[in-house]
A and B are shown apart, each in its own frame.
Chain A
Amino acid sequence: SQKIEQNSEALNIQEGKTATLTCNYTNYSPAYLQWYRQDPGRGPVFLLLIRENEKEKRKERLKVTFDTTLKQSLFHITASQPADSATYLCALVQSDTGRRALTFGSGTRLQVQP
């Protein structure tokens, strides 16, 4: 069956360190993978998109990698700040089924300690 797996346990790190979150998928051939941030009681906010033919994408302190062999995407936040504390969701679009919308993982909660 198709699965998108993110670590359900919260990730706790110290301010200034690099946070690394993992998204693994099974039985998908995604054309794109996206990362979103969600704060409690709010809607998700888009952060980054990476295509299947891209290895890495950066935006300010954020970096996303995409390994279609490992079927994994890693999301990094460098020089993390308490304001980065939130739940981070990965999402993908299957490339060959005609599905038109994103399928989401359950998210990983990041807590950055000051």
Chain B
Amino acid sequence: ETGVTQTPRHLVMGMTNKKSLKCEQHLGHNAMYWYKQSAKKPLELMFVYSLEERVENNSVPSRFSPECPNSSHLFLHLHTLQPEDSALYLCASSQERPGAAMNTGELFFGEGSRLTVL
């Protein structure tokens, strides 16, 4: 396995379901991200984890719950979603410089998980 792997690639769920998206990076990076991409809209940053600590939460509704058990894995737990949450969810990783106030490195994205909420 190389790069950033996301599973599942496609997910259809009802509004009352609970599901999880999984991301795994094999690049030895120390930061991971969740982005949401809806049609005709820019990528929206949802969560940032640096060294397994959540360092940014971009006003995301609580029905989205991230988990980062280690620097290689990132989850997005989904619960009671709405149809407007249907989108492509992209995971990314990068290597942050120690002590840096901001991340300037390139992002390595997975192929995304296409979520449809019925």
Contacts and interface: CB of A to CB of B under 8 A. Distances in A.
Nearest to A100: B103
Q: How large is the interface on A (under 10, 10 to 19, 20 to 34, 35 or more residues)?
A: 20 to 34
**For the side of the interface on B, what is the size category?**
20 to 34
B107 A102 contact: yes
A106 B16 CA distance: 31
Interface of B: 4, 31, 33, 35, 40-43, 45, 48, 50, 55-56, 88, 90, 92, 96, 101-104, 106-112, 114
A93 B41 contact: no
Nearest to B96: A100
A106 B103 contact: no
B13 to A, nearest CB: 19
15 contacts: A36-B107, A41-B112, A42-B112, A43-B92, A43-B110, A93-B102, A93-B104, A94-B102, A100-B101, A101-B33, A101-B45, A103-B45, A105-B42, A106-B41, A107-B42
